[in-house]
Structure 1
């Protein structure tokens, strides 16, 4: 079990990986590797050990119950792919990936449009959807579009 917020913060990579798997962006490999890293960092539970031993290409549908069990044993909230809170965690991961140049501005805004969508209950998150609309409906991308995406990502990461 995870007893304090410091320990919980140590499991954030596992939570982020499973969130991205749950929303359908990443495959299982990131979550399996994050489980192995959590074990190496001193976190332990029977289901976490089993999760760390899964094949890297494991299907979400095959392993969801095991991942739920590991999260319960570690006293972590399991990500609900349809909840706004889970989508905000996923957006934070995507913004971080963008700022680390793992993905481009277009991939970030297109992803946000497909996952966050219009009328999301968070104005800062919906900004990425509107930036995607600007890119989609303008004959040419405005010169300040990419810097606006970067600014939005930096602001989103900096909040909280």
Structure 2
């Protein structure tokens, strides 16, 4: 559906058209290859793993800070394979990693507040692109 929306929004490439026409049951490998090809045809560079991970951290922090995501949503979407480079990224990732489904109510509330505080700190320390919640450039 994202490919179809991109076409409606005026983006166009052969791979994007093919991607938009694929059924949901399509092979994940085929979808990934067409996705990467469509981005290439549109001149969109894919970030390396480190940059992608840092963008994920920031986008989750922005979502939490804007109350678009809950602390549990953040944990569910976060890969612990993400590497943090700045102190703010490290703090956010560290607090997120402390989550446990066996936390008591008081402990959970303290964790959620700590994660929200770290999210605000991270978003304040990061340059974001065009207000979309996607980092435009990350400080080292």
State which of 37, 53, 59 in structure 1 corresponds to 2:5.
37
Q: CA RMSD in A?
A: 3.0
Query: Where is the strand percentage greater, Structure 1 or Structure 2?
Result: 2
| Structure 1 gaps, min length 5 | 1-32
Map Cα deviations across residues 42-79 of structure 1 (whole Å, 9 max, x no partner): 11111111112222343432222211110111111125
Q: CA deviation at 1:35?
A: 1.6
Larger relative contact order (CA 8 Å, sep ≥ 6): 2
Q: CA deviation at 1:99?
A: 4.3
Please state if 1:127 is matched with 2:83.
no
Length-normalised TM-score, structure 2: 0.67
Distance in 1 of aligned mates of 2:23 and 2:99: 39
State which of 58, 80, 89 in structure 1 corresponds to 2:26.
58
**How many residues in Structure 1 have an aligned counterpart in Structure 2?**
124
C-alpha spacing 1:91/1:44, structure 2 compared with 1 (3 Å): same
Query: Where is the helix percentage greater, Structure 1 or Structure 2?
Result: 1
Q: Which residue of 2 aligns with 1:9?
A: none
Distance in 2 of aligned mates of 1:68 and 1:133: 30
State which of 64, 68, 72 in structure 2 corresponds to 1:98.
64
Map Cα deviations across residues 70-118 of structure 1 (whole Å, 9 max, x no partner): 01111111255xx11011222233334434555421342464462326x
State which of 52, 55, 59 in structure 2 corresponds to 1:86.
52
SS at 1:58 equivalent: coil
Q: Which residue of 1 aligns with 2:74?
A: 108
Length-normalised TM-score, structure 1: 0.60
Distance in 1 of aligned mates of 2:36 and 2:22: 14
SS at 1:66 equivalent: helix
